[in-house]
Structures are given as C-alpha cells and as structure tokens.
Structure 1
Amino acid sequence: MTEDVPGVMMGFMENWQGLSGTWRVTLVVFVLVLMTAVTAFIVSRLVLWLERRFANTNNLWDDAFLHAVRKPAMGMVWLLGVYWAADAAYRYSEAEIFQANEHLLRLGFIWLLVWTLIGMIKQGEQLLSTPGKVQRPMDYTTVSAVSKLLRAVVIITAVLIFMQSLGYSISGVLAFGGVGGIAIGFAAKDLLANFFGGFIIHLDRPFKVGDWIRSPDRNIEGTVEHIGWRLTTIRTFDKRPLYVPNAAFTTIAVENPSRMSNRRISETIGIRYSDARQMAAVVAEIRTMLESHEAIDTSQTLIVNFLAFNASSLDIMIYAFTKTTEWVKFHEIKQDVLLRISQIVDSHGAEFAFPTSTLHVPDGIELSGLDQQGQTS
C-alpha cells in the first residue's frame, strides 16, 4: 500500500502535459509533504480530544496510553509522508541516496515502537507511584527499579532488531558481546560494581527514596533523593547533595532511622545530696508522670530509678520511648517531659545539683585576712 500512493499521484500528474517532469515531481513531493503536515495536525488534535474525553473516566490507564502514543502517532504520519515523498523523488531521479528508503522505513517503525513502549513505561511508573492517582500506590523505589529494567530490555531488544535489519547476524553480535563483555568487565569493574550494588539495593531494599539514612562507617547522613544504577543521591541536613557510589553500600553498615518504631528519651538528672530524703518520692512521681503521659508508649521499656552516687549529685536515670517518630514532634514531647520533671523536683523542695566543692578546715587553723562574717577585712 505504501508503494501505491506516489505511483497514483505520479500517474495523475502525467495528464498535466504543460509541466516538465521536474516540476511534476516537485509538485507531487510538495503535495505529499503538505498532506503529511495536515494529517499530523489532525491526528494530534484527535488524540488531544480523546485525552480530554477519557480524562473524565475512572480508568487512568487509557489516559496514560493516549499520552504515550500522541507524539509517536504524529511521528508515524511524518515517517510515512517522508517515505512517500522520497519514493516519488526516487522514481524520477533514481538517485542512490533514495535506495536506503526501505531500510529507513523499517528502522523508523522500530524507533517509533520503542518510543511508544518507553513512553507507556514512564506513564505507568508515574501512575503506580502517585498517591492521588491509585488507591494503593506502590513504593517509588520498586516502581523505579522495574521501570528502568523494562526500559533496558526494550532498548537492548530494539538495538538487536536494528542490527538484524541492517544485515548483521544477531548470533554473531551475541558471540562478540560474550567475548567483549569479558574485556569490558575488567576495564569497567568499578562501573559494574556500582551497577550490581544498585541492583542489590533494589533487591534487599535497606532504604528507599525519602528515607533518612546514616552510616557509622562513613560520613554519610541525609535523606535519599534518588537511587540510580550507578549513584545514590542523598540530601544532607544542610541541604547539600551527596552522591554515593552504589558499591559503597555493599561494604558499609547503614542505619535507617526512618524505619524506627519509636524515639527514645534517655536522660540522667542529678539532685543534691542534701535532698536524699526526697529521692524516693521524686522517682515515684516521675515514673507516674511518664506512665500517664499521652505521648509516651508504655508498652515499651520505661525506667525511672535512682542510678548512682555521683561526685556532686544523686543521679536518676530516665528511660522511655515516645509514640511518635517525627523529629520535630519528638523534641516537643521531650521538652514537655523535662519541664514536668523540673516541676516535680521543685514541688518536693529539692533542687538540681551542679558541680560543687566542699573545703574542710581542721580545728585550730585560722584563716588570716577574714573577719568574723567571712569577709575580707
């Protein structure tokens, strides 16, 4: 069918005896390109109309499909139009440059198919990971990994089909790739290590995009922004981007505070030695306060005990967990708990201790330069 359109138009132009062959071909090519432009515009408008029409439906996959195929559909129209125009020019001039027209048409079809598939994969990635579009959005890290894998499969398959269309043997290409892969593996071992490191991250999922992570082995701490096949981008708390090769995560320990179930309050306070008689009452009231606090998780370990005789204080250990894991809210709760502890200590007539020193002077020794009130004379 693609070969008939230029022939029909050339046959129609044969009746125009007043025009030379060059002008006839030029007119045919002009008409074909003009028709292609008009058809591409109509197709674009039609797809946009369908997108608006299906935007009101509950099914979001049709929207994703139409958005993915709109530009490839226009590309298909232009591919056929240019092919027909080139075929008409070849029938008149028989130039060697137009002999590649058939190959370009096949390669163009493959390229448009790849463009469409990659567009659908990207649309599916956005659809599955956006909370407002689906009832149960999937984890972005998992969706991103699957999307990258599918795109890699599509591109590799397209490259092999391209080479087969150009006359190369796929079996020979694969054999060369097996031998060349060994050499490439030695030359790019760090790149491959990062690639497999990224694969392990996607497989084991020690963290995902949006998690706060840190490493006790390296100076790494921040929020994960992107997990690529070679690098993981982390936004530190001073808002600097930190790019970490994926291979590093296979050799270091990584903490993921974002997955903690509770946040811990662990404090040691000290009261004066002169307030030892109030110790039991203070400890009991602090424990009661924590057990009745609405933000403290009483199902977790809760400890309030007289801990030790310190150099200048009697120490009390306070150990509890909050229900929230939010950093800002946790500090608000901790502030409230510490203020309540201060009020409890004050209500029992006790005071917090601070470092002091007591000087014992043996009997019979007088300190010169001081009067009876202990002031300098």
Structure 2
Amino acid sequence: MMILDAIFKILCAMSALLFVNKLIFDGISRVKSKVTSTGNTWFLLILDAAYMPLQFCILIFGIYRIAHLFEYQFIMNNIDHGYQVSMLMVMSSFLLRFKQNIEHVLDEEKEYLFTKFDPALVTLFSQIIKVTIIFCVVAIALYIVGIPFQSLMMLQGAVTIALGVSAQNVLGNGFGGIMILLYKPFEIGDLISSPDKKIEGYVEEIRWDRTRIMNLDRRPLSIPNSMFNQIIIVNASKMRNRHLVQNINLSYKNIDKVDAITTQIQAMLKSHDGIDTKLAASAHLVEFGAQSLRIHVSAFTKTVKTSVFYQVQQDVCIQIAQIIKNNEAEIVLVTNVL
C-alpha cells in the first residue's frame, strides 16, 4: 500500500506540474501576441529569453517537490543543494539567452545602430558579459555545495598565476584587442598595410583576440592582436589625399622646351578637377641624367579611393603626354647600360 500511495502521489504531482506548465505557457503566448502588436521590443526579448528557462524551472520545482515524498536520508541531505544549483543554472540560462537576443537585435539594426556604436566594441562587451556570468555562476554554485569563499579566492589566485605563465599570448592578444578598440588605429572596412610584415588588405572583423583582414588578392588573413603592438600600421583609409608622382625623361635635344613644358603641366594640374589645388602641385626639371633630362611631377588627388585615383592618374599622364607632343618634344626610354 505504501508503494501504491507513493506512486499515486507522484502521478498527481506530475499531472499538476503539466497542468501548471500548460497554463503558464498559454498565458505567455497570449501576452507575447499582444506585446508584438504594440512593438515593445525589450519586453519581447525578455519573454523569448524566459520561455525555455521557465520550462526547466517548473520541471526542477516539480522534481524537488516529488523528491520530498521519499524520506531517504541521502536524498534529503542533497536535494536542497541540487535544487539551488539547478535554479542558479536556470537563471544563468535566462541571462545568456537575453544577451543573445540583444545581439540579434543589434545585428538586424546594425546599419543604424553601428553609426553610433562600434560593432567590434559591442562584440567585446558581449564576450566580457558572457565570461562574467559564467564565472559568477560557477563561483556561487561551488559556494552552495559547501566550498568556502576563501578557498575560491585561493583557487582564483592559482588560476590567475597559471594563466599568466601558460597563456601569455592569449592575454597579450586580449590586451591588443582592447587597445585597438580604444585607440582605433583602424576600423572595420579600412585599408591597412604594414611595411614590417607582408600585411595589406581590408579589415573585415576585429575580435577580442585577433583581427581578420581580406588581402588584396582575396586571401583572408587572421592576425593576433598582440602583433599590432609591435609593428607599424599604415591606414590608407585615414588619408585625406593620395600622392600622385610621375618622373618623365626628355631628350637632351629638347632642353630649350623644358620651361614651356613644365609651365603647361603646372597649369594643367591646377585646373584639373581631380587634383586638390589647396596642396602643392609642381613640375620641375630635377636631374641631368646619363641619357635624359628628368622632370619630376608631383600633386595630390582629392580622392583616396584606389579606383578613382588610378583614373585621375591616367588622365593626368595622358594630358602630360599631349603637352609634350604639342611642344614637339620626345619622351626617352631610359635603359641600363651593362
């Protein structure tokens, strides 16, 4: 009779558990449909994050109450600790799901929001929040099961020392990522290069530990952030102008036409739509070479985009060639004499 009575109580408890579970989630579904029509995004995020953890919460509570039907000493000694740890895990699950839902909203609205917030900084804070939640849950769970707080602090100190010795590269990469996000030597979409290393391409992603760069020949590079603290970085996307330089070799028989040619080239540069006239633009004879006269042409374009820069450079070169032709001068091909 005692066994039948226990089975009957368990069945009654499970039936009540399922009934309460259905009532709660029917209520959540109705509330969710009403909130959707109002457009309250934050409340929807909370409801969605709480849906699965609440199911586990009801299940854990039911198991906890059913376990009290049995008066075994082992169960009675451990059920409270197990219940508290389980509820703690449910709470952490809710927080992590809520964080993930916020990330999804930010990703959907990134074209608007990331004009105000750096996406790499958002990712970094997301990782920090995740690690903090997990660390706090583990620490509280260990404390619940009876490990003293002082022991946790000693364990934390030992782990910190171990990490400092065995994971210097990881910590260095993390510190490098923080420096990149704070000082912003480059951002996502920038064209960067390094004269120290064979690095040149567009920044596609900045993580807390490494940065992904798409090379100019479309090869992805994954670079540890600690490396950026040790090398020189040239950020072409931060330039306001690009330097256009051409060296032209004229025949010595055209030396009497050099002054007219350089004057006309300077006038062309000052009137060209693609050249920034606020900056110096020049064309001068700079060297008497072994085989030719060398004219140095220098100017700064208004654009920094590579494709537009090449178009401006091409047009300038064609006009220079036309000026030389109009003056009946000749461009000399310089060859190396062995």
Instruction: With the length of structure 2 as denominator, give the TM-score of the two structures.
Output: 0.84
In the other structure, the counterpart of 2:300 is: 321
Structure 1 position 24, deviation (Å): 1.8
1:69-218 equivalent positions in 2, closer than 5 A = 69-92=47-70, 94=72, 96-97=74-75, 100-124=78-102, 130-134=109-113, 136-218=115-197
- How far apart, CA to CA, are the structure 1 residues paired with 2:148 and 2:190? 47
- How far apart, CA to CA, are the structure 2 residues paired with 1:214 and 1:337? 26
1:283-294 equivalent positions in 2, closer than 5 A = 283-294=262-273
Q: Say whether residues 1:336 and 2:315 are aligned partners.
A: yes
Deviation sequence 1:153-205 (CA, Å, 0-9, x none)? 33322332222222222232113322442243222223322232223323332
Please say if residues 197 and 250 of structure 1, whose CA atoms lie closer than 8 Å, have aligned partners that are also in contact.
yes
Please say if residues 25 and 89 of structure 1, whose CA atoms lie closer than 8 Å, have aligned partners that are also in contact.
no
Structure 1 position 272, deviation (Å): 2.2
Aligned with 1:312: secondary structure? coil
Deviation sequence 1:20-77 (CA, Å, 0-9, x none)? 425423432442453355346435634642563243xxxxxx4255235413333123
Letter in 2 for 1:274: K
Please say if residues 76 and 109 of structure 1, whose CA atoms lie closer than 8 Å, have aligned partners that are also in contact.
no
In the other structure, the counterpart of 1:255 is: 234
Cα 1:31/1:299, change in 2 over 3 Å? same
Structure with greater helix percent: 2
- How far apart, CA to CA, are the structure 1 residues paired with 2:228 and 2:41? 39
Deviation sequence 1:249-272 (CA, Å, 0-9, x none)? 222222222211211111111222
Q: Say whether residues 1:25 and 2:9 are aligned partners.
A: yes
Q: Say whether residues 1:275 and 2:254 are aligned partners.
A: yes
- How far apart, CA to CA, are the structure 2 residues paired with 1:101 and 1:340? 88
Aligned with 2:203: secondary structure? strand
Structure 1 position 97, deviation (Å): 5.0
Cα 1:175/1:121, change in 2 over 3 Å? same
Letter in 1 for 2:324: V
Letter in 1 for 2:211: T
- How far apart, CA to CA, are the structure 2 residues paired with 1:295 and 1:42? 66
Gaps of 5+ in 2: none
- How far apart, CA to CA, are the structure 1 residues paired with 2:78 and 2:30? 32
Which segment is superposed worse, 117-126 or 262-271? 117-126
Structure 1 position 91, deviation (Å): 0.9
In the other structure, the counterpart of 1:312 is: 291
Please say if residues 202 and 214 of structure 2, whose CA atoms lie closer than 8 Å, have aligned partners that are also in contact.
yes
Cα 1:51/1:20, change in 2 over 3 Å? same
Percentage identity across paired residues of the two chains: 28
